Structure 1
Amino acid sequence: MTPTRVVLVEDHDMVAEAMTLAMARANDIEIVARAHSIATAVESVREHEPDVVLLDRRLPDGDAIESIGVLSQSGARVLVLTGEATATVAARVAEAGGSGLVLKSSGLDELEDAVRRVADGEAVYGAEFLAGVLNRLTGRTPSATLTTRERQTLTLLADGASAADVATRMGIAHNTARNHVQRVLEKLGARSKLEAVAIARREGLLD
């Protein structure tokens, strides 16, 4: 099997070395070059024509998301690596032509799996980012996809209300309130009510 050829773009030497050593243990992934800036990344991609560019988002010469278009011109798929992100950042990566977003807090096994999946043509985004990516790419915003009742539910959740409280305060059946809560979580790509509120605040959906 021909290994997936990767250009690693990371300006912190210790982080880059750790990733290189970890991936060296995988027979199907090969780090063909390392770069520490957007400029050197462009040069490395042109020289080595990799399958995947593993791209740190914040580099000394700028926000690397803005370089995705140039880096992918040779056919390489770009997987962005970042310390922290929001659904909006994930959507920017997708809009720029990136193939995925992985948090630096992810395990090395998870990172290797993401590289493989991206090389196979998949788009790799965590569940917490997927709703934002899909909404942005389809021209919708999370606030536009929430119904009036769902927006009311979100506001109540932000006040600390439970599903039972939502039912009482909105004058609806408990099962209906629970369905509203579930749909809010699904549309925001959240796994809990607390996460839904956090995402909503981050995306400006709550005043």
Structure 2
Amino acid sequence: MPSSPPRSRPVRILLVEDHDMVAEAICLALERSPALEIVGRAASLASARVEARRYEPDLVLMDRRLPDGDGVSAIAEMKALVPDARVLILAGEGSASVAVRVAEAGGAGLILKASGLSELEDAVRRVAAGEVVFSQDLLGDVLGRLTGRAPRPGAKLTPRERETLDLLGEGLTTADISGRLGVALNTGRNHVQRVLEKLGARSQLEAVTIARREGLLQ
């Protein structure tokens, strides 16, 4: 393929990050390159909307968790405000479900905060060049989910496990769930554990959060 023509100006970046120290470190790392320029900073989604309209950046580097909302849920809005901008999500932790949400919303990728600043710079450059960038350990799951080759979370839950999930969604404890199901406490614990495993959750709260996001709970 022919290479893209060189840019006549730096990639203009809007950084949306509510932690000052993290934001400062990112700015210092990215602005070492003359090809990258931080044109605006925001610490909330409300501020990001204002800055996006003001600067019309080429790329929005946005934290997943912000004081007034979820960065992934805001991807579509950012792209509506600045149609030509690409959105790269920065996350403290990642999962296949979150990465798929980014892709489905039209995001250009997800990079973890645990990655080095050089990796972040590389990801920003690649996204600005038109690539889609996800961590290698998430990429296979993202492709599988988007092509329908991998099941969505909850697809393999048995009827009893779905019932257990519904009870978790009601806020019941494992003991309460066991009572409602009419099973021994150890059996109830096993049902809950299998639900967590199949949803890829590390806690009951996270399982409920994933289930709501995936439409498994009302």
TM-score class normalised by the smaller sequence = 0.5 to 0.7
Are 1:17 and 2:30 counterparts?
no
Aligned to 2:188: none
Aligned position for 1:39: 46
Aligned match of 2:104:
95
Aligned-pair distance for 1:87? 0.8
CA RMSD of aligned residues (A): 2.0
Q: Which runs of 5 or more structure 2 residues have no equivalent in the other structure? A: 1-7, 154-195, 202-218
Residue 204 of structure 2 is matched in structure 1 by none
Contact kept? 2:108, 2:132, Cα under 8 Å: yes
Contact kept in structure 2, 1:88 and 1:203, CA below 8 Å = no
Q: Secondary structure at the match of 2:27?
A: helix
Q: Secondary structure at the match of 2:133?
A: coil
Larger RCO (CA under 8 A, 6+ residues apart): 1
Name the structure 2 match of 1:77. 86
In 2, are the aligned partners of 1:102 and 1:111 still within 8 Å (CA)? yes
- Partner residue in 2 for 1:182: none
Percent identical among aligned pairs is: 57
1:117 lines up with 2:91 in the alignment:
no
Q: 1:75-105 deviations in whole A, cap 9, x for unaligned?
A: 2100000010101110011011100000001
- Structure 1 unaligned segments of length 5 or more: list them: 145-199
Output the amino acid matched with 2:112.
L
Please tell me whether the aligned partners of residues 16 and 63 of structure 2 are also in contact (alpha carbons under 8 angstroms). yes
TM-score (norm. length: structure 1):
0.68
The CA deviation at 1:203 is: 4.3
* Change over 3 Å in CA distance of 1:11–1:204 after alignment to 2: closer
| Structure 1 position 57 matched with structure 2 position 84 | no
Aligned partners of 1:7 and 1:52 also within 8 Å = yes
Contact 1:38 1:62 in 2 (8 A): yes
Distance 1:17 1:143 in 2: 37
Q: Deviations over 1:132-166 (max 9, x none)?
A: 2112222342489xxxxxxxxxxxxxxxxxxxxxx
Structure 1 counterpart of 2:37, which letter?
E
**CA 109–202 in structure 1, closer or farther in 2 if over 3 Å, else same:** farther
> Normalization by structure 2: what TM-score?
0.65
Q: Is 1:135 equivalent to 2:144 in the alignment?
A: yes
Give the letter aligned to residue 12 of structure 1: H
Q: Specify the alignment match of 1:30 in structure 2.
A: 37
Q: Is the 8 A contact 1:132 1:142 kept in 2?
A: no
Poorly superposed stretches of 4+, deviation over 4 Å? 202-205
